[in-house]
Structure 1
């Protein structure tokens, strides 16, 4: 065996260094030649490889790998027949990623000592690093044969199998060792991790359960178990695991957050809020904790509390925009539009180049049907943030709600100038052309491009069907409209289009059925814009004509 006795060798280096320095500082030199200290030169002149090896060890201990290898080279040159020095040099070369040299030296030693466990493990590691998989497996297996209880050999072999995706062999290797030593924590952790990675969660959990018996106070076990239960979406058992973890590491804030979020998943908002309030007391400036408290109170229908928490979000936080949006939505849902407008205006005063705030403010005025005010807000936003894609898009939608389709197309074309791949704008312009029964070839091209970018979208498939209808390709139109209705059921416009197609085909019964469904769905909307009110009147006229 070639094991380094580093402490013993360092003691020898200390003795040699003391001798080379001539004894204690201030000591009187002896007149006798017999007691004259041996010099460093005298040692090296004798061809003593031990000296250089000891200096190499000292350099390694002090963290100087380059100097260590330099002195080890000198030691090896002094005694090139030493298997021990050759092996030490192989280790150093391998550590320095000089794998070819390391392999050459290790193989020379192997010729003399093929049954050395450490040497076989070193050769396995070198071959693994050089991606010589089969050879690495041979050396690791031999090390195991030489020492069947050598745990690291089994783990190295398992990792080697994993490196080439031979998962069953890796599992079999670790399971074999566990038959030898069922109490091994490291190997059982390793096996559980493989099962987790392979999504064999029940097998992973079985290993963690054994680990809880072997080492019940190890926090890592419950952390891993909790994550596995989360992957299984078994939130109840995940919560139990993290609660146990909390007992073992009571000061870990990340565990508190996971427990609170699990309470949230179980709709136990009171416990989740209680935990986050405790965390907020410890970390009053933590923006994510403030945000979570807002979300939790919003979910618990504690509107005033939610508004209060969202209002505390500092404008420097990356959650500021979302917090303002949630305040505005809560107030809008409570029909407090003026308060919502005040909140967004206050945010806009802090960040006047944030397009999202102009978008929010415009939408709030549109909800009040103050469309001109909404447009004025968007124009102010575009002055602050010129050529903004988002604001031009909202402007196009606002014009459409006002029934001003020409202006809406102009705005959407500016969106496409900024981003030719904006699928919503492509679909909007294509559909509007079809609705106005104009530029139908361009409309077809625009909608097809949108569907290439976002295939399977029900609204865009409806647009395609409507373009085909306007072009007179009735059967193709029907195919796409029926597909759109399956993808996006109960959508009034799609239902109306199907009614129009069947009316054209003189199937009045089906036409009436679809018109009535469309009218019913539109009637369920509490707030209707100008275009929706016009749509209702149009459908009523169609029904009246049947």
Structure 2
């Protein structure tokens, strides 16, 4: 999107025809582009030009247009500058400025913009370009003058004007110039809260949290009830990792301005982020009581009910939203998720297949394939995956992972490994590919690849819990590396103390170290959180080792009924119950 909204196009009609020409911007120059001349009605335009433009000027413009079409931009630039000077028509100066910017000729751009402003002092577009040029050149005095003119002429539009300038300058690494010019501008307008608000915004962009906090406080001192500033102050706290402060700020603001649902919605989002789901629901109920047609808040509340396993309430909300075209497909997707959660695979599949449009089409299709995989309908899953690959070529990476999982379900581990290896040649540092190939490498007995892939993830993301847990667990296969395994698993447990699979891995480490009672405590905790089959097998084995064999058998018998083909349970049965090692 162009940063400057250019003025209306200029049309020239020569002889009995009209031309549609433009100087086309390169990929490198995104901030501005020359104005296109538009098609017009020949007879009326011919008459207007004959009466309003001198023949010599008309010839100059014709020369400039033809030069522009041929890529002779220096000639085109001089032509438009000459026409602007002779006619005092600011649109010609504007055209010259656009061409000069495209040519990256700063001197000519400055000259053209100065002429443009002289002929049209009220032009906001010219002011923006003048400010941009001054900021680029580091001319703080001129930049401040131009920003001051923008603020005085259009206080309401000043914020957007600054954002437009910043979007260009940030890409060029000059965002500090805007911040410094606003410091000078604040001396001229100490009572303008928007100046401090924008400085806070720019400070956050350069990750200067202290300055951002100081500037937002200055803005709120001038304009205490400004909801945008109040919300941004809370967002600074969230960015700093202080969710408690963010909640406190927003709760105070909500008490002061109870009818302001922008503040209330932000509070609800922070409560969700901090896992205060019940409180978030109460906030959304308050919002909906004042705005019954706020469907976005209703939908958000439905998602929270799902998180809280209050599926009936969630289902009621999504079924009501089904009646509204703009919400029906999202609702169908989550109704499918509810049915899947309750093990109603056929009903879930029906819902997923109904999602025919909107942003959830791909996710619904993937969920349907996952259901078919789980139900061992692997041929149907493969067919759907092939169709999906043709329909969503931009989702190549995610579909590769789905294909690898399909091969895994079919126990075609070598195929999955080769597929992922080929994909990593194209996406060498992609974490999900590395992690998934590590899992497949374990299946095809390539321990060196397992370790290398997981360590590559941790080299750039040392707090990746999945990789830490997988690497630590993998190293437990060698007694000589229990010390290394413990280092990785302790780190994972510190980062994710409530994650069942991490607790399980750490418990299994304790069992390997001979700390059976300690192992039992961790494994029971993991099992209570998630009755996953591998966790069950681990817990049963530790119970057996503690001579609590009846409990181990009871646990095993319950699990094997639900999953008679599970490899972990069958391994426990063969090694421990049948005594075959």
- Report the TM-score, using the length of structure 1 for normalisation: 0.56
Contact 1:103 1:123 in 2 (8 A): no
How far apart are the structure 2 equivalents of 1:349 and 1:329? 23
1:100 to 43, 46, 54: 46
Aligned CA distance change for structure 1 residues 479 and 403 (closer, same or farther; 3 Å)? farther
Query: Per-residue CA shift, 1:424-466, capped at 9, x if unaligned?
Result: 1111111232233214334442465267436356443211222
Q: d(CA) in 1 for partners of 2:255 and 2:87?
A: 56
**2:184 maps to which residue?**
244
Worse overlay, 124-133 or 519-528:
124-133
Q: CA offset at residue 235 of structure 1?
A: 4.2
Q: 1:290·1:312 contact (CA, 8 Å) conserved in 2? A: no
Where in structure 1 are there 5+ consecutive unaligned residues? Answer: 1-93, 111-119
How far did residue 527 of structure 1 move?
A: 4.6
Are residue 219 (structure 1) and residue 148 (structure 2) matched? yes
Please, which of 464, 473, 488 is the counterpart of residue 403 of structure 2? 464
- Residues 260 and 273, structure 1, Cα contact 8 Å, conserved in 2: yes
Moved more, 96-105 or 437-446: 96-105
Q: Distance in 2 between matches of 1:139 and 1:488?
A: 48
Matched, 1:437 2:376: yes
Give the distance between the partners of 1:307 and 1:393, measured in 2 at CA.
33
Matching of residue 449 in structure 1 with residue 388 in structure 2: yes
SS of residue matched to 2:229: helix
CA distance in 2, matches of 1:144, 1:367: 64
Cα distance in structure 1, aligned partners of 2:303 and 2:76: 70
Residue 168 (structure 1) aligns with: 103
Specify which of 268, 280, 284 is matched with residue 344 of structure 1: 284
Is residue 2:345 matched to residue 1:409?
no
**Cα distance in structure 2, aligned partners of 1:431 and 1:257:** 47
Quote the Cα distance in structure 2 between the aligned partners of 1:435 and 1:240: 59
Deviates more, 1:404-413 or 1:167-176: 167-176
Structure 1 residue 393, shift from structure 2 partner: 2.6
Question: Separation in 1 of the partners of 2:342 and 2:393?
Answer: 28
* Change in 2 beyond 3 A, CA 1:263/1:527: same
In 1, Cα distance between equivalents of 2:388 and 2:215: 46
CA gap 1:218/1:97 in 2 versus in 1, 3 angstroms: farther
User: In the alignment, is residue 326 of structure 1 matched against residue 270 of structure 2?
Assistant: yes
Q: Deviations over 1:97-155 (max 9, x none)?
A: 94423555679x76xxxxxxxxx44664688799998999989969989x9x9698898
How far apart, in 2, do the equivalents of 1:512 and 1:143 lie?
A: 66
Whether the aligned pair in 2 keeps the contact of 1:290 and 1:310 (CA below 8 Å) is no
Secondary structure of residue in 2 paired with 1:424: helix
Aligned to 1:378: 314
Alpha-carbon separation, structure 2, partners of 1:501 and 1:539:
22
**Aligned partners of 1:340, 1:160: CA distance in 2, in Å?**
53
Q: Deviations over 1:165-217 (max 9, x none)?
A: 89439756567899xxx999859x9xxx99x9799x888632745847xx969
Q: Secondary structure of 2:532's match?
A: helix
Q: 1:126 to 1:486 in 2, by over 3 A?
A: closer
Q: Is the 8 A contact 2:332 2:351 kept in 1?
A: yes
1:308 aligned residue (232, 243, 252): 252
Residue 206 of structure 1: aligned partner:
137
Please give the alpha-carbon distance, in whole angstroms, between the structure 1 residues aligned to 2:175 and 2:138: 20
Distance 1:159-1:357 versus aligned 2 partners, 3 A rule: closer
1:538–1:271 distance in 2 versus 1, CA, 3 Å:
same
Structure 1 residues 177 and 351: alpha-carbon distance in aligned structure 2, compared to 1, 3 A threshold: closer
CA distance in structure 1 between the aligned counterparts of 2:169 and 2:73, rounded to whole angstroms: 36
Corresponding residue for residue 194 of structure 2: 254
Q: Give yes or no for contact 1:389–1:419 (8 Å, CA) kept in 2.
A: yes
Aligned equivalents of 1:536 and 1:359: distance in 2? 36
Q: 1:154 to 1:229 in 2, by over 3 A?
A: same
- From 270, 278, 284, the equivalent of 2:213 is 270
Matched, 1:499 2:442: no
Distance in 2, matches of 1:202 and 1:139, equals 21
Name the structure 1 match of 2:507.
none
Q: Counterpart of 1:534? A: 532
CA contact (8 A) 2:336 2:347 kept: yes
Inter-CA distance 236–486: structure 2 relative to 1 (3 Å threshold): same
**Which of the two has higher C-alpha Rg?**
1
- Cα 1:481/1:396, change in 2 over 3 Å: farther
Q: Is the 8 A contact 1:392 1:411 kept in 2?
A: yes
Which residue of structure 2 aligns with residue 423 of structure 1?
Answer: 362
Matches within 5 A, 1:30-49: none
Instruction: Report the equivalent of 1:64.
Output: none
After superposition, the Cα gap between the structure-2 partners of 1:143 and 1:413, relative to the gap in structure 1 and judged at 3 Å, is closer
Contact 1:358-1:381 at 8 Å conserved across structures: yes
Match of 2:546 in 1: none
Q: What whole-Å deviation, never above 9, does each CA across 1:280-320 have from its counterpart, x for those lacking one?
A: 43xx3x54334224323444521312333356666675675
**Aligned match of 1:489:** 431
Call closer, same or farther: CA 1:533–1:244 in 2, change over 3 Å.
farther
How far apart, in 2, do the equivalents of 1:169 and 1:154 lie? 23
SS at match of 1:437: coil
Q: Deviations over 1:202-235 (max 9, x none)?
A: 88632745847xx969724999997465453444
Contact 1:375–1:398 under 8 Å retained in 2: yes
Check the 8 A contact 2:264/2:283 in 1, yes or no.
Answer: no
CA spacing shift, 1:245–1:509, aligned 2, 3 Å: closer
- Alignment of 1:394 with 2:338, yes or no, is no
How far off is 1:379 after superposition?
A: 1.8
C-alpha distance 166-385 of structure 1, shift in aligned 2 (>3 A): closer
